[in-house]
A and B are shown apart, each in its own frame.
Chain A
Amino acid sequence: QVTLKESGPVLVKPTETLTLTCTVSGFSLSNARMGVSWIRQPPGKALEWLAHIFSNDEKSYSTSLKSRLTISKDTSKSQVVLTMTNMDPVDTATYYCARIDPQKYGMDVWGQGTTVTVSS
């Protein structure tokens, strides 16, 4: 069974750096063309894609957030890590990680999401 689970702080202060971890099971991050995306959703708003990373270590970032994001993976730990610098209250959101099916180019399995609030 394929699962993904996000973990990280519930509350961060403005200007701090957020570090989120996505732990996957049921598949390997080294599988050919396998990828993991991070997506967020502010309360009551639409989904916003943030970044993704593939098994060959190819990475891509949202144009508007590129300067603040870093994505990496640790295949041995089955983890994908996203860091976002200089957090602001507008970054308050539920953050999801999702697997990118290499055959479908779609995000076929999602984590349950983790809610992050930015407040002093």
Chain B
Amino acid sequence: DIQMTQSPSSLSASVGDRVTITCRASQSISSYLNWYQQKPGKAPKLLIYAASSLQSGVPSRFSGSGSGTDFTLTISSLQPEDFATYYCQQSYSLRVTFGPGTKVDIK
């Protein structure tokens, strides 16, 4: 199975900060990489699909980049509602796998 790693596992940031989260796949997954946001007690929400495409309704401060094995989720200016846990997920393989998550909290 394809293993996904994320870094950092957690970070503290302030409103207005630029935040970058990295996701790495154990083998090339082309651009079959999605990003999700999850708030406590809620279901995950799709933010970015196909590595860099913004899901409908998601604010433009969220962006994704990368291909192959290395990917990045960037929040250009962190807002109060963005404090959450972020997961990457590969859909290259029929056996989907998620990363371990990155928790973004308030500094």
Residues in A lying within 8 Å of B, measured CB to CB: 37, 39, 46-49, 52, 60-63, 96, 98, 101, 104-108, 110-113
Contact = CB atoms under 8 A, between A and B. Distances in A.
Nearest to B85: A46
Given A105-B32, A110-B45, A46 B87 contact: yes
Contacts of A107: 34, 36, 44, 46, 89
Contact of B44 (A62, A101, A110): A110
B49 A101 contact: yes
Given A63-B1, A104-B49, A47 B98 contact: yes
Given A37-B96, A47-B87, A47-B101, A112 B43 contact: yes
A44 B99 CA distance: 15
Contact of B53 (A48, A60, A61, A104): A104
Contacts of A49: 89, 95-98
A106 B91 contact: yes
A63 B89 CA distance: 16
Interface string B43-87: 111100110010100000000000000000000000000000001
B98 A105 contact: no
Which DSSP category, helix, strand, loop or mixed, fits chain A's interface? strand
B49 A111 contact: no
Contacts of B34: 104-107
B55 A108 contact: yes
A49 B89 CA distance: 10
B98 A48 contact: yes
Given A37-B96, A46-B100, A104-B34, 7 more contacts: A46-B99, A47-B44, A47-B98, A105-B50, A105-B91, A107-B34, A107-B44
